[in-house]
Copies of this chain bind each other. A is one copy, B any other.
Amino acid sequence: MKPSKAVETQTATLAEIAREAGVSAPTVSKVLNGRADVAPATRTRVEDLLRVYGYRRRRAEATRSPLIDLVFHELESAWALEVIRGVENVARDAGLSVVLSESAGRLTPGRTWADQVAARRPHGVVLVLSGLDESQRALLTSRSIPFVVMDPAGDPGADVPSIGATNWQGGLAATRHLVELGHTRIGAISGPSRMMCSRARVDGYRAALETAGVPVDGSLIVTGDFHHEAGYRLGLELLRRPDRPTAVFAGNDLQALGLYEAARELGLRIPEDLSVVGFDDLPVARWVGPPLTTVRQPLTEMAEAAAKLVLDLAREPESSAARRVELATSLVVRSSTAAPAGSER
């Protein structure tokens, strides 16, 4: 049995893996089940062989727990609850419970997060805004535990099943709305540039300006981090300029709220003196004064789609269901946008 052949045909059996590792078949089973009573060196050797031979557990169906894992990089996000609701909806219909965890910091000595997942044998794993490294992927794959990235950040990596949103289209729609109201000095507060969704939104903003024949002024584009504080700080910066913009695409709703505060502090009225568009459509967007015009990201539906996809993959690993889907964003016009002061419109 040569690794190269086994990788091609994926026919290595548990007994063959055990022989190659110099251990008993039950020991390989223990590793697959995430049991703690295996020496670390043995575990590492077995995991390596499982990966090399591309081993996939058969009959995984029979041993699954009625669980689905939902993993956040961190739970701080203002929209985490909408994602939880989506996964919970699908889990409930399927008779499953949701195990929630944060990947940041969740390492117990000697037992990684992926080990814990392997030990509880869920139907699948939905990851939010966090990827898996190579060994974690191999570990889940060998147990036939499928995973899907619910990925508002827009950069899941090749070959990873994922659900995203149309960020570029959203940035385009937000900015077109402002152009159509008559604005020509339109600022943008971007999210962090390492997140692809930030780049896509700002690229949509540029495309809207360019196709409307409005020159892009690079100095009106500033980079935040999607938090309230950045919207406030960068908002003050933009609004204190002598040639301040009459409208700002704020990148997301939290930055829009920070921008609201900056405008209040400077005595600028929204929308009379400043139009603001957000992104996400968090519940709070309806409640602030004035209610925020924003781009709706269908977070609950995205989470539902991710959970459904992972359950499809659990039932049918070679399913032909699309593995990379972006759900549509849509502009929601409320009261924070209007024609610029002194405009003829």
| A residues at B contact (CB < 8 Å) | 65-67, 70, 75, 78, 80-81, 84-85, 88, 92, 95, 97-102, 105-106, 108, 111, 116, 119-120, 228, 254, 257-258, 260-261, 264, 283-284, 286-291
Q: Which residues of B contact A257 (CB under 8 A)?
A: 287-288
Given contacts A75-B88, A116-B66, A289-B289, whether A97 and B100 have CB atoms under 8 Å apart is yes
CB–CB B88/A84 < 8 A: no
Which of B78, B84, B92, B101 interacts with A106 by CB under 8 Å? B92
CB–CB A99/B97 < 8 A: yes
Which of B98, B228, B260, B290 interacts with A100 by CB under 8 Å? B98
CB–CB A99/B264 < 8 A: no
Q: Which residues of B contact A111 (CB under 8 A)?
A: 95
The 10 A-B residue pairs with the shortest CB-CB distance in the complex, in nearest-first order: A257-B287, A95-B108, A81-B81, A98-B100, A284-B284, A100-B100, A97-B99, A264-B289, A99-B99, A75-B85
Q: Which residues of B contact A258 (CB under 8 A)?
A: 287
Which of B88, B102, B264 interacts with A102 by CB under 8 Å? B88
A-B contact pairs, 29 of them (CB 8 A): A66-B116, A66-B120, A67-B99, A75-B84, A75-B88, A80-B81, A81-B84, A84-B100, A88-B100, A88-B102, A92-B105, A92-B106, A95-B111, A97-B99, A97-B100, A97-B116, A97-B120, A98-B101, A99-B99, A228-B286, A254-B287, A257-B287, A257-B288, A258-B287, A260-B289, A261-B291, A287-B288, A288-B288, A289-B289
Taking CB as reference atom, which chain B residue is nearest A65?
Answer: B120
Given contacts A106-B92, A120-B65, A289-B261, whether A283 and B78 have CB atoms under 8 Å apart is yes
CA distance A65 to B258 in the complex (A): 44
Copies in the complex: 2
Q: Which residues of B contact A288 (CB under 8 A)?
A: 257, 287-289
Q: Which residues of B contact A78 (CB under 8 A)?
A: 283
Measured between C-beta atoms, what is the minimum distance from A275 to chain B in Å? 16
* Apart from A70-B100, A81-B81: 18 A-B pairs, beta carbons within 8 A: A65-B120, A66-B116, A75-B81, A75-B85, A75-B88, A80-B81, A92-B105, A92-B106, A97-B99, A97-B100, A97-B101, A97-B116, A99-B99, A254-B287, A261-B287, A261-B289, A284-B284, A287-B288
Measured between C-beta atoms, what is the minimum distance from A118 to chain B in Å? 13
Q: Which residues of B contact A80 (CB under 8 A)?
A: 81, 84
Given contacts A287-B228, A287-B288, whether A92 and B81 have CB atoms under 8 Å apart is no
Q: Which residues of B contact A66 (CB under 8 A)?
A: 116, 119-120
Measured between C-beta atoms, what is the minimum distance from A170 to chain B in Å? 22
Measured between C-beta atoms, what is the minimum distance from A155 to chain B in Å? 25
Q: Which residues of B contact A88 (CB under 8 A)?
A: 75, 100-102
Measured between C-beta atoms, what is the minimum distance from A283 to chain B in Å? 7
CA distance A95 to B107 in the complex (A): 8
CA distance A2 to B78 in the complex (A): 56
Q: Which residues of B contact A287 (CB under 8 A)?
A: 228, 254, 257-258, 260-261, 284, 288
Measured between C-beta atoms, what is the minimum distance from A334 to chain B in Å? 12
CA distance A108 to B92 in the complex (A): 9
